Amino acid sequence: MSSPFAGIAHAARATTSLAVRALLLLVLIEGTASWVGFALGLAEGLQPPERERLHMHFDSDLGWSSVPDTRLESFYGAGRHLTINSQGVRAKHAYAPARPPGRRRALCAGDEFTLGPGVDDDATWCAQLEREEPLLETVNLGQGGYGLDQTFLRVRRDGAGFDFDVLVVAFTRDDFARMEKDNSHHYAKPVLRIDAGGGLEVRNVPVPDKGERMPWLVRNASVFERLRIVELARPAIRALRPPATSGLTPGELAELSGKVFEELAKLCAQRGATLVLLYLPTYADYDDPGELWRTRIAREARKHDIAFIDLVEELRGHSPSDAARLYQPIDASSPPASEAPFSEAGNAWVAEALRAHLHHLPTVAAMLVDAPHT
C-alpha cells in the first residue's frame, strides 16, 4: 500500500515540472520575440533618430556633417522634404559669399534643434525667421548630434565662407554635456579644452574614422541594443568598464563654454557682426528647467558682454498641452519624448520669439530697419 505522502510528492513534482516547462516556454517566446523584433528593425530600415545618418558622412574636422547636394523627397512624411545644398547647408539653393543686395544675413548654428528633423526645409525656425523678417536672409548651419564644441568648429570653418551681420548660436543643455566626450553614438568627434596659455585647444583631430570601418554595424547599433540578451548584459558590461571621466567639473565645463563664447565673439568682431546666444528648451526643460546650469551659462555670456536669449521660461508660460504641441510625439497617441525635436508649431514659436528678442537688441534692431545700401 502506497503512502499518501508519495502521492503528494508526485503531485508536487508534476506541478514543479509543469511550472518549469511553462517558464521555459515563456523564455523561448520572449527570446523569439526579441529576435523577431531585431529582424523587423533591420527590415524596416533606420528609424529616427538613426535615419538622420542617411544624409550625413564622416568629417575629419567635425566628426560628421551633412552630405552636400542631398535631396530626400518626403523624408519626414508627405511634403516634408530634406535638402542639403552644395555647401552642406540645409537649403534648397546655394548662397553667394556676399549678402544679398539690400538685405542683412544671419547664420543659424546649432544642433538638431536648429537643423530641424521632422519638418520641411521651409519649416525650420531658421527658415521661418527669414519669412517673418524679410530684410534678413538666414543660413541654417545646424547639424544633428553636435555639441557646442562642434558647432563652434563648424562656424569657424564653414561660416567663414559667408558675409554675415548676425550669428545666432543656438544650443540645448545636452550640447554642453556632449563637449565632455570624444565620441557620440558610436562616432568619434573632436574635443575642445583650455590649454596652459588660456587658449582653446582642439584635440582628437583628425577625427578617427571609426564609423566607416563597419558602417552597417554602426548604423544599426541601436537595433542590436534592443535585443533582450544585450539589455541583460548591459549592467555587467557597465560594471566591467572603467568609469568614463572627462576630467571636467561643472565649473570647468562652464569656463570652457565661456571660452567658446569668447572666441565666437572675437570671430564676430572681426566681421563687424553681432553674436547672439540662444538657449533652446527641450521638452524636459518644461518640468526640469536646470536653473543652476542656465545661471552659469548666462553668467558666462554676461562676462563677455554677449547677448543671451533664454526661451526656457517662455516655454514654461504655456499650458502643459500647449507646450507638448511644440514638440514631435513618438506617435499620435504618445506625448513627446524628453528630447523630441520641435514640431512645425514649435519651430514657428522659436522663430517668433527670437524675432521679438532680436528687435530688443539695439545693434540688431538697428540693422533690421537700416538695410545695407546696394
Confidence of residue 51 (pLDDT cuts 50, 70, 90): confident
Q: Which of 200, 226, 244 is the last residue of a domain?
A: 244
Look at the block and give the residue holding cell 541594443.
225
What residues make up the domain containing 21?
A: 1-44+214-244
The residue that leads in pLDDT, 13 or 365, is 365
Q: What is the CATH number of the domain that holds 160?
A: 3.40.50.1110
Q: How far apart are CA 328 and CA 118, in angstroms?
A: 8
93, 27: one domain: no
Highest mean pLDDT: which range of 12-26, 82-96, 284-298: 82-96
From the list 232, 225, 223, the residue with the least C-alpha distance to 27 is 232
234, 282: one domain: no
3-state DSSP call for residue 108? strand
Asked whether 111 and 176 are in contact (CB, 8 A), the reply is: no
Q: How far apart are CA 133 and CA 165, in angstroms?
A: 14
pLDDT over 70 (residue 179) = yes
Q: Which of 244, 259, 287 is the last residue of a domain?
A: 244
Confidence of residue 111 (pLDDT cuts 50, 70, 90): very high
pLDDT per residue as tens digits for the range 119-168: 999 999 999 999 999 999 999 999 999 999 999 999 999 999 999 999 99
Contacts of 298 (CB under 8 A, 6+ apart): 308, 310
69, 156: one domain: yes
Rama region for 107: left / alpha / beta (φ>0; ψ in -120 to 50; rest)? beta
pLDDT at 4: 59
Number of helices and strands in the chain (H, E): 14, 13
- Note the pTM of the prediction, 2 decimals: 0.82
Asked whether 248 and 177 are in contact (CB, 8 A), the reply is: no
165, 88: one domain: yes
49 domain residue, yes or no: no
166, 296: one domain: yes
Q: How far apart are CA 179 and CA 253, in angstroms?
A: 8
Specify which residues 226 forms β-bridges with.
Answer: none
3-state DSSP call for residue 274? strand
pLDDT at 38: 43
Least confidently predicted of 39-48, 212-221, 224-233, 305-314: 39-48
Q: How far apart are CA 256 and CA 179, in angstroms?
A: 9
29 domain residue, yes or no: yes
Confidence of residue 370 (pLDDT cuts 50, 70, 90): confident
266 domain residue, yes or no: yes
Q: How far apart are CA 356 and CA 199, in angstroms?
A: 35
50 domain residue, yes or no: no
pLDDT per residue as tens digits for the range 264-288: 999 999 999 999 999 999 999 998 8
Average pLDDT across the chain, whole number: 85
181, 113: one domain: yes
Give the total number of structural domains in the chain. 2
256 domain residue, yes or no: yes
40 domain residue, yes or no: yes
198, 263: one domain: yes
From the list 227, 166, 169, the residue with the least C-alpha distance to 39 is 227
94, 161: one domain: yes
pLDDT at 239: 53
22, 167: one domain: no
Measuring CA to CA, how many Å separate 150 from each of 140, 353, 372?
15, 25, 31
183, 101: one domain: yes
